[in-house]
Structure 1
Amino acid sequence: MKFDLHTHHVRCGHADGNIEDYIVAGLDAGLQVIGISDHSPYFYHEKDQPSPGIAMARSDFANYIEEVLRLKEKYAGKIEVLLGMESDFFPQHIESYKKAYEGVPFDYLIGSVHQVGDVSIFNRNRWKGLDEKQHIIVKRSYYDLIKQSARSGMFDILGHIDAMKGYYPSFSDIPATAEIDETLKTIAECGVSIEINTSGSTKYVGGWYPSDAILERALHFGVNVTFGSDAHIPSRVGDEWELVLQRLKEIGFKQWVYYRKRQPIIVPIT
Structure 2
Amino acid sequence: MKFDLHTHHFRCGHADGDIESYIQAGIKVGLTVIGISDHSPYFASEHDQPQPGIAMGKSQFLHYIDEVLRLKAKYEGKIDVLLGMESDFYPESIDLYRRMYEPHPFDYIIGSVHHTRGISIFNRTRWKGMSKSKKIEEKREYYSQIAQSASSGVFQVLGHIDAMKGYYPAFSDIEAADVIDETLKIIADNQVSIEINTSGKTKDVGGWYPSDAILERALHYGVQVTFGSDAHVPSRVGDDWELVRRQLKEIGFREWVYYKQKQPVVVPL
TM-score range, shorter chain: over 0.9
Equivalent positions of 1:125-164 (< 5 A) are 125-164=125-164
Q: 1:34 Cα shift?
A: 0.2
Aligned to 2:58: 58
Q: Distance in 2 between matches of 1:177 and 1:231?
A: 30
- Structure 1 runs (4+) greater than 3 angstroms displaced: none
Q: 1:218 Cα shift?
A: 0.2
Aligned to 2:122: 122
Aligned to 2:8: 8
Aligned to 1:212: 212
Aligned to 1:19: 19
Q: Distance in 2 between matches of 1:194 and 1:262?
A: 14
Of all paired residues, the percent bearing the same amino acid is: 70
Cα deviation 1:147-181 (Å, max 9, x = unaligned)? 00000000000000000000000000000000000
Cα deviation 1:175-213 (Å, max 9, x = unaligned)? 000000000000000000000000000000001000000
Aligned to 2:70: 70
Q: 1:50 Cα shift?
A: 0.3
Q: Distance in 2 between matches of 1:103 and 1:267?
A: 28
Question: How many pairs are equivalent?
Answer: 269
**Equivalent residue letter for 2:251:** I
**Equivalent residue letter for 1:47:** H
TM-score by length of 1: 0.99
**Equivalent residue letter for 2:80:** E
Give secondary structure in 1 for the equivalent of 2:170: helix
**Equivalent residue letter for 1:37:** S
Q: Distance in 2 between matches of 1:67 and 1:193?
A: 26
Aligned to 2:224: 224
Aligned to 1:255: 255
Q: Where in structure 1 are there 5+ consecutive unaligned residues? A: none
Q: 1:129 Cα shift?
A: 1.2
Give secondary structure in 2 for the equivalent of 1:265: strand
Cα deviation 1:103-154 (Å, max 9, x = unaligned)? 1000000000000110000000010010100000000000000000000000
Q: 1:53 Cα shift?
A: 0.1
Q: Distance in 2 between matches of 1:107 and 1:99?
A: 16
Q: Distance in 2 between matches of 1:264 and 1:234?
A: 25
Q: Distance in 1 between matches of 2:258 and 2:168?
A: 30
Q: Distance in 1 between matches of 2:223 and 2:141?
A: 21
Q: Where in structure 2 are there 5+ consecutive unaligned residues? A: none
Q: 1:221 Cα shift?
A: 0.2
Q: CA RMSD in A?
A: 0.4
Aligned to 2:99: 99
TM-score by length of 2: 1.00
Bigger Cα displacement from structure 2, 61-70 vs 89-98? 89-98
Aligned to 2:171: 171
**Equivalent residue letter for 2:123:** N
Q: 1:19 Cα shift?
A: 0.2
Aligned to 1:246: 246
Aligned to 2:186: 186
Q: Distance in 2 between matches of 1:103 and 1:225?
A: 27
